[in-house]
Amino acid sequence: MATTLAPTAPDAAVVAVPATQPAPVRLMALGLWGVVGSLLSYGIVMTVTPPPAPGGSPTPPPAAAVRAPSECRRGAPSLPPTVSTTSRLFEPLTLRGTTFRNRVWLAPMCQYSATDGVPDDWHLVHLGTRAVGGFGLVLAEATAVVPEGRITPQDTGLWNDAQTDAWARIVRFVQERGARAGVQLAHAGRKASTYSPFDAQGRRGTVPADDGGWGTVGPSASAFPGYDAPRALTAEEIAEVPAAFAAAAERALRAGFDVVEVHAAHGYLLHQFLSPLSNERTDEYGGPLENRARLLTEVVEAVRAVWPEDRPLFVRVSATDWVEGGLDVADVAQVATVLRELGVDLVDVSTGGNAPAEIPVGPGYQVPHARLVREVAKVPVAAVGLLTSAEQAEGLVVDGAADAVMLGREALRDPMWPLRAAHRLGVPASTAPDAPARWQPQLDRATWR
């Protein structure tokens, strides 16, 4: 069996990894000094000093010895510089062959307003307004890859032609405003078939079959609190999941989307497999981290194989379950390293959602997780979570905590947030099609003079 050795400094440890091992196995072969070194600055682990090498200087940490399959392998991308010129937030960002006019992006937010998975005029106005408002990327909500993958019966989907055609109309409008259009591909797993948050009768929990619901599935038969217990997926059913994501990605391409994001966060199916809190399997998809990450890496490989080389692929992760014994940021940083090697261009870093937890919510509370994933995995990241002011967002990009910021609730409150932020940061208003802070010609009279 062929063996690949990591390049090493003198006297550094050598990590040998069989080059034919699948992605999950390679998780165990990461250079742990890289992980530990970044964790130290956040007080997450105790300080560890390597023993001195001959001559008295500390032994340098080894480089990671992980490899992706040859058809997917990419070198570590050079991260964008963090030297401020005028406004880093409004500098374009290029990933693969796709350039975003700025780094203020709309986070995917479920609207629970579709019929049979088909987006409608509400989605056109919701997403189109944010494109008019200057967002560099407009990322559509969690969109189910199969009917039973919807969070609610009112979720959008990408499993048939009617949905694809409806999305195409929305994508065209967004792109004509100068923004990039993206879609988040999802399967809700055990958190599927639930009532909409604004159900007219105030109902919560699992929708029964006689009211339009369906049976749910997950890695194991354990229920999310307050929901019906799912059925554990069989090995044969698990094998169908990557193909479902790939088929949805092909439909996203036909609809014209510039970006697809695989949803592996917030307690949905791929997160359920990743987290030991919800994954009780004893086969190749359960147990140690490399097994729990297997389905996610298989999904990413399947999507990357059908998604064009010049278009970026994102993955959203929950960097911690906020529960002792659950998924933590060190685990996710290891997984992100392998995702980068499999062709993922940006990791969208959120937290929580897989179990009830006490979460220390506050301004920018998830940013430290994004920074750590960026530093360890050497992959561009987006930060999200109570980011509200122009100065706060600018500082995150200048400081190297993130390469882009995602706005959720703030974007709901203020669809024109990017244009306001640009004004506060001194970025000139312009109606030019490629302007970082582009005002639509119809709105030019409203610019600050």
What does 88-145 look like in DSSP terms, one character per residue? STTS-EEETTEEES-SEEEPP------BTTB--HHHHHHHHHHHHTT-SEEEEEEEES
Taking alpha carbons only, the member of 404, 343, 407, 342 closest to residue 374 is 404
268 in active site: yes
| Rounded distance between C-alpha atoms, residue 337 and residue 363, angstroms | 27
Interhelix angle 294-306/329-341, nearest 10 degrees: 30
Q: Which residues have a Cβ under 8 Å from the Cβ of 210 and sit 6 or more positions away? A: none
User: H or E element: which one contains 186?
Assistant: strand 180-186
| Rounded distance between C-alpha atoms, residue 214 and residue 193, angstroms | 6
Three-state SS at 344: coil
3-state DSSP percent of the chain in helix, strand and coil, to 5: 35, 15, 50
| Rounded distance between C-alpha atoms, residue 74 and residue 408, angstroms | 31
Burial 82-102 (b: 16+ CB within 10 A, else e): eeeeebbbbbebebbebebbb
Q: How many angstroms from the chain centroid is the CA of residue 19?
A: 27
Three-state SS at 35: helix
Which residues are registered as beta bridge partners of 118? 115
Which residues are registered as beta bridge partners of 404? 382
Q: Which residues have a Cβ under 8 Å from the Cβ of 35 and sit 6 or more positions away? A: 330, 333, 334, 376
Three-state SS at 409: helix
Between the alpha carbon of residue 217 and those of residues 230, 270, 295, the distances in Å are 5, 12, 14
Identity (one letter) of the amino acid at 343?
G
Identity (one letter) of the amino acid at 238?
I
N- to C-terminal Cα distance for the chain?
68
| Rounded distance between C-alpha atoms, residue 258 and residue 263, angstroms | 16
Catalytic residue among 42, 112, 227, 268: 268
Cβ–Cβ < 8 Å for 113, 417:
no
Interhelix angle 329-341/367-377, nearest 10 degrees: 50
> Would you name the residues annotated as active-site residues?
268
